[in-house]
Amino acid sequence: EPIAGSGGFLDLVHAFIAELKRSETWPEDLEQACAARGAGRRDREFARVYAEYQEVLLKHQLFDAEGKFWWAREKLRQGEWGAFGSLDLVVVDGFDDFTQTQYEILGLLASQASRMVVSLPLEPTPVRVELFAKTRVVCEQLAQQATVTPATIDSRSAAFAPGWSGRQLTSNPAEATRPAFQQIARHLFGNTRRLDRAAQAEEVEIVAVAGQRGEVQWLGARIKRLLLEGIASGDIVVAFRDPGEYADLIEQVFPAAGIPVCVDFAAPLAQSPVVRAMLQVLQLELADWEFPAIRAVVDSPFFQPDWPERAGIRTALATLRRLQLGSDRRRILEQIGRDARQAKDPTHRAESAAALALLSRLDQTLAVARQPRSLSSWADVLGALVADLGLLSSRDRWPDDSSHWQTLMSALFAAGRVEQYTGGAARLLDVTEFVRELTDLVQHHSLSANRREAGCVRVLPASEIRNLEIPFLFVAGLSEQSFPRRRADDCLYGELERRQLNEHGLALAHQAVRTQEEMLLFYRVVTRARRRLILSYPAVSPD
């Protein structure tokens, strides 16, 4: 497969375009910067991709995530304020950074409001310069958009991290002044040579556990003990850099321990049982009816066709085993047909006849998947297959199967519409190409999460707890891959090339900025604890 059609490469291209657009770097800006440092073929091709992508969006009046902010800014500039026409107070909380477009939107809102309050983690006197470098840049940028009056929170009666906000960040000053937490808030990432050890740190624990499963089991036992001591489940939060890496283990271990849990993780559409069942049907065609693929389809609880031949499932599998038919759809049907006519044992003839009836009916149903089609046409094929095979009528199906299937259909039709925007003829995909596209699609679309947070221990991404007050905070999964989250140079532009492009007018992130982002995120996470902070990591990682 050409690399240009691979999902991983497209993700890199999309991420880089998004980064350029957040700094309002247009295709011509990229071309000029590349030319200034000596543009190569890659630079010219990527600039062309970016230019044509932007042209398609403008032609069809479409907006990507960054374009929505551009559109909002232009509407405000044109005086279309809508519900924001008369503002007294604007509060901006929970941000560490803003894009250029967002700065301009804030400036426009500030011009309409009597007062704007922006909260940021800062120090009154710059000591940990690298830790708060990003937020100090934010202060400078905000000062270019509006008149700014810094205000520092009194940390003796509020939270640990001083900031630009008049908001009372905690209702319990005694908890906010716990010595161990004060020590972390005031000195984390500071100069350790100038640091005096805290007199006591009983509120903070660091625990190493063998492996991910061992870590989750330890978390479950420790949280269960807190619950038995009378701690409310809503006062406990477990933070992971990415809960998805632990979600399956948590949903196995915590409920088994009697812990009500809510995991903030939207699983990919690929994890939907009905979607997996359809992929198994398509894999049957790709595998040319290998025995494991046949069994995966007909022996699945989702296989509920309204066929009289369905009664022969067990007989069909037994016949395939008896005749030792491993693969090749045509050969399988021919040999079973021959056995149904010529087998010496009448029982075998009857069994082969029943098997042939079932497999022939399945063969006829799957015939629609054996010719190239457009994405939109493939969506129609899947709709017909799910109905013919009864994949949505299983008594054991999840209650959300129908909505998951509709999400898949919507995604396929949307992908088909996107192809039309390019102006060329729709691609015709054979089943192999379609399964590749479908697999990529269901990995990138998420299931809607029906979360019940009330009365549950919450499991959240680290980025989602930065503005919460958490009595008992577990920060788990602290492997070398989670903090800091290391990003290798991608195949588009490496660290050196990014710095060179920045010297010619671009504003691309580089390693120093990413390190600052990682430090600030970790700081904001660990300063959310109010009574107990437990840090855990798997002593043996899966890698």
Average pLDDT of span 360-381: 94
122: its two tokens: 């800062």
Instruction: Tell me the CA distances in angstroms from 271 to 76, 95, 387, 436, 452, one per residue in order.
Output: 41, 32, 20, 16, 20
Strand partners, 457: 261
> Any residues with CB less than 8 A from the CB of 259 and at least 6 apart, and which?
220, 223, 224, 227, 233, 457
Q: Which helix (H) or strand (E) holds 115?
A: strand 113-118
Cβ-Cβ contacts under 8 Å for 169 (sequence gap 6 or more)? 153, 158, 159, 469
Mean pLDDT of 174-180: 64
Question: Which pLDDT belongs to residue 143?
Answer: 82
Q: Round to whole Å and give the CA distance between 159 and 394.
A: 53
Of 49 and 198, the one with more pLDDT? 49
Question: H or E stretch including 142?
Answer: helix 133-145
The residues with which 87 forms a beta bridge, in sequence order, are 113
Taking residues 53-60, what's their average pLDDT? 90
Residue of 485, 482, 437 lying closest to 7 (CA atoms):
437
Cis link prior to 484 (omega < 30° from 0)? yes
Per-residue model confidence (pLDDT) at position 174: 38
Look at 151-160, 338-347, 390-399 and tell me which has the smallest mean pLDDT. Answer: 151-160
Q: Is residue 373 within 8 Å of 287, Cβ to Cβ?
A: no
d(CA 172, CA 247): 32
pLDDT band of residue 161 (cuts 50, 70, 90) is very low
Q: What is the pLDDT of residues 75-119, one digit of tens each?
A: 999 999 988 888 889 999 888 889 889 999 988 888 888 888 888
pLDDT at 366 over 60: yes
pLDDT at 165: 35
Residue 123 pLDDT level (bands cut at 50, 70, 90): confident
Over 60: is that where the pLDDT of 156 sits? no
Domain range summary for the chain, segments of one domain joined by +: 3-62, 71-194, 204-265+451-538, 271-427
**Which of 244-248, 365-369, 407-411 comes out lowest in average pLDDT?**
244-248
CA distances from 188 to 182, 331, 340, 444 (A): 10, 69, 77, 37
DSSP state of 188: T
Query: Edge-to-edge, what's the strand order for the sheet holding 236-240?
Result: 204-209, 529-538, 470-475, 236-240, 457-461, 261-263
Say what the pLDDT of residue 29 is.
93
The alpha helices in 179-272, defined as continuous H runs, are 179-187, 211-228, 247-256
pLDDT in tens, 413-437: 888 888 778 776 778 999 999 999 9
Sole residue written with tokens 């009528």: 393
Question: What is the residue-wise DSSP string for 241-278?
Answer: S-GGGTHHHHHHHHHHTT--EEE----BGGG-HHHHHH
Query: How distant is the alpha carbon of residue 492 from its chain centre?
Result: 22
Cβ contact 532:56 at 8 Å: no
Could you give phi then psi for residue 205, rounded to 5 degrees? -130, 145
- Provide the 3-class DSSP secondary structure of residue 151: coil
pLDDT at 323 over 80: yes
CB 220, CB 466: distance < 8 Å: no
Average per-residue pLDDT in the chain?
A: 86
Beta bridge partners of residue 116, listed in sequence order: 90
Confidence of residue 322 (pLDDT cuts 50, 70, 90): very high
204-265+451-538 is a CATH 3.40.50.2300 domain: no
- Percent of the chain predicted with pLDDT > 90: 48
118, 121, 124, 126: CA torsion to nearest 10: -130
Q: What is the pLDDT of residue 5?
A: 63
Separation CA 317–CA 324 (nearest Å): 10
Quote the pLDDT of residue 182. 87
Query: 13-52 pLDDT, tens per residue?
Result: 888 999 999 888 999 999 999 999 888 888 999 999 999 9
What DSSP assignment string belongs to 44-56? HHHHHHHHHHHHH
Asked whether the predicted pLDDT for residue 168 surpasses 50, the reply is no
Q: Report in angstroms the alpha-carbon separations of 325 from 276, 318, 362, 499.
A: 25, 11, 17, 60
- CA separation, residue 507 to residues 16, 33, 100, 492, 504 (Å): 12, 11, 11, 16, 9
Tokens of 293: 């693929």
Measured CA to CA, the distance from residue 54 to residue 57 in angstroms comes to 5
Q: What is the DSSP letter of 237?
A: E
Tokens (6 digits) for 432: 């192999």
Which DSSP helix (H) or strand (E) runs through 34? helix 27-37
